Amino acid sequence: MWFQKEIRLPAVKRGFHLITDLVVAQLPELEEINVGLAHIFIKHTSASLTINEDADPTVRQDFESHFNHMVPENQPYYRHTLEGSDDMPAHLKAAILGNAVSVPITNGELNLGTWQGIYLCEHRDHASKRTLVITLQGE
């Protein structure tokens, strides 16, 4: 079985946000899959996806602090600056983290680890809603 749909996430402030429950809530089709794979792709170049710690919110705060330190704004060598000082750093952060995650599906549920969750990594100060393409494959 193959299934694909697009979902829109609400606009959020800059930072790392857990979206696992939002994604699962929009995928009743998961229940039909005993063994499979969910591929989740973000259709944007200034936001990204990753999987990491979902229990302690300070992990997400530390991610934001670290990436802001690692990829600072207002660098004199940035040429892509027409959309603001956060634009080029957002593209770099998205390139580092990536635009997709894949998660196993087991018995109708995402088979994430005990402390794992899917993050929307929003790298822009004033972002709009983000779109995900989710492809389910399995039997």
What CATH number has the domain bearing residue 30? Answer: 2.60.120.460
Q: Which domain holds residue 54?
A: 2-138
pLDDT per residue as tens digits for the range 86-119: 999 999 999 999 999 999 999 999 999 999 999 9
Domain count, the chain: 1
pLDDT, tens digit, 9 for 90 and up, residues 5-52: 999 999 999 999 999 999 999 999 999 999 999 999 999 999 999 999
Map the chain to HEC letters: CEEEEEEEECCCCCEEEECHHHHHHCCHHHHHCCEEEEEEEECCCCEEEEEEECCCHHHHHHHHHHHHHHCCCCCCCCCCCCCCCCHHHHHHHHHHHCCEEEEEEECCEECCCCCEEEEEEECCCCCCCEEEEEEEEEC
The pTM assigned to this predicted structure is: 0.96
